Amino acid sequence: MSILPVIMAGGSGSRLWPLSRLQFPKQFLTLLGEQSLLQQTIDRLADIDAAYPLVICNEEHRFIIAEQLRQIGKLACNIILEPVGRNTAPAIALAALAATAKGDDPVLLVLAADHAIQNLKAFNQAVQLAKPAAQDGKLVTFGIVPQSPETGYGYIRQGIAQAHNGTFAVQQFVEKPDLETAKHYLASGEYLWNSGMFMFKASRYLHELEKHRPDILLACRAAMQHVDLDLDFVRIDEEAFLQSPDDSIDYAVMEKTSDAVIVPLDAGWSDIGSWSALWDVANKDNNGNAVHGDVILHDSSNNFIHAENALVATIGLENIVIVQTKDAVLVANKNNVQDVKKIVDYLKCNGRNEFRHHREIYRPWGKYDSIDNGHRYQVKRITVKPGAKLSVQMHHHRAEHWIVVSGMAKVTNGDKTFLVNENESTYIPVGIVHALENPGKIDLELIEVQSGGYLGEDDIVRFEDKYGRV
């Protein structure tokens, strides 16, 4: 029986601000190695007999996920879009219903897209131990062997060994403890961290959900009755899905079922829930510094420093986190990084956009970087992928001047269509219908200078769009 990976790719990841933003959360960031956490999650399945993954995400992140799957050759109309977040129990129900729609009944391996696992061999062994139990109808969860009295995780109390080698009964789910309780859990050797990873047959999950939360299953079944295929995305019935209650798989199923078992996992796991947690798993120099980018250190130790596009130099610093991006800099004591969320809350309350998106914004056709702005003008650096085309559009309040830096642009300007080569430019007046396309084999790079009385992104009227945004 094959394994179908189900990757949960929702979440905002605000604790890793300013790298993680609402529209570009941590699962899409390259934090460890050369790939994003999402790509690493999928690639670590290479030695497991698994099908193409099924990814569950929200509408806003769909093009980012599609591009990252395309980069690793795992894009195959396998992205289910949630019109609104309803927690993990409904999301997994959507995946299970999609998996069984054609009469199949695969074993689902449910993983979060934003976890790090250092020991792939141990992870693979745990999956192989869990598979026979899942095939026999058990609902398997993976419990992380704790390394410290962590208060930020829920715990699972491990019971007696089961008939399937390497699995144990689930005796109790417990909430995040205080420090003294966590120390007791660690000393007892009976408790494991709740990883949020699961394995079970699709039909068994649906059966248990119908038994314990039929209201969730009813809404999800209705949502999957009317599915639209849009490019590489599976769109469900929004109105039906809105009727689903918000609940986690732990509360809805795992704490209620009599068939839950647990497989201990000791594989260098981390949910990278804070900058200090990222420092724990990152490569460090002889002085305990984890650095990324252009960094100069003098008399500094045990720091985490991330420089995105500028030189960061430190003198006499210890136990400090510094994260520099194009539009923000965070400086924090490593012992206080849990308060980063308070900064994000402040940004939200004060109407600032730095919590929402980076200066560099990704689009299905490529990306743009807002490199300068002032009264009645804005300058962007635009990158258009080969073969990609921006929507046919018009602006009421701004004119645009395009200067091609590299590649070739195919431009529609009113009733004329023409090519613009490197070091050439063109002008789009206010109110003129226009379009931009890259007909070449390399990225098209251009500078766009906008001018006018209103420069907001919502000053756009789309007439035609290959990405379904009209």
Higher local confidence (pLDDT), 85 or 411: 411
Domain ranges of the chain: 3-270, 275-346, 360-464
Same CATH fold assignment for domains 3-270 and 360-464: no
Averaged pLDDT, 176-193: 94
Residue tagged 């699962």 (tokens): 27
| pLDDT above 80: residue 299 | yes
Q: Is the peptide bond before 18 cis (omega within 30 degrees of 0)?
A: yes
Considering the domain 3-270 in this protein, what is its CATH number?
Answer: 3.90.550.10
CA 148, 154, 160, 164 dihedral sign is negative
Quick one: pLDDT at residue 377?
97
CA angle 139, 144, 145 (to 5 degrees): 130
Confidence of residue 231 (pLDDT cuts 50, 70, 90): confident
Number of C-beta neighbours around residue 162 at 10 A:
16
pLDDT in tens, 423-455: 999 999 999 999 999 999 999 999 999 999 999
Quick one: pLDDT at residue 1?
64
Amino acid letter, residue 170: V
Averaged pLDDT, 347-366: 93
For 245, how many CA atoms within 13 A lie in the half-sphere containing its CB? 13
Euclidean distance between CA atoms 408 and 419, whole angstroms: 7
Confidence of residue 420 (pLDDT cuts 50, 70, 90): very high
Quick one: pLDDT at residue 467?
86
Quick one: pLDDT at residue 411?
98
Contact by Cβ (8 Å): 87, 248: yes
Considering the domain 360-464 in this protein, what is its CATH number?
Answer: 2.60.120.10
Averaged pLDDT, 239-251: 96
Confidence of residue 162 (pLDDT cuts 50, 70, 90): confident
**Burial annotation 90-99 (CB, 10 A radius, 16+ → b, else e):** bbbbbbbbbb
Higher local confidence (pLDDT), 230 or 433: 433
Strand 360-363's sheet: what is its strand order?
Answer: 360-363, 366-374, 377-384, 444-452, 398-406, 425-428
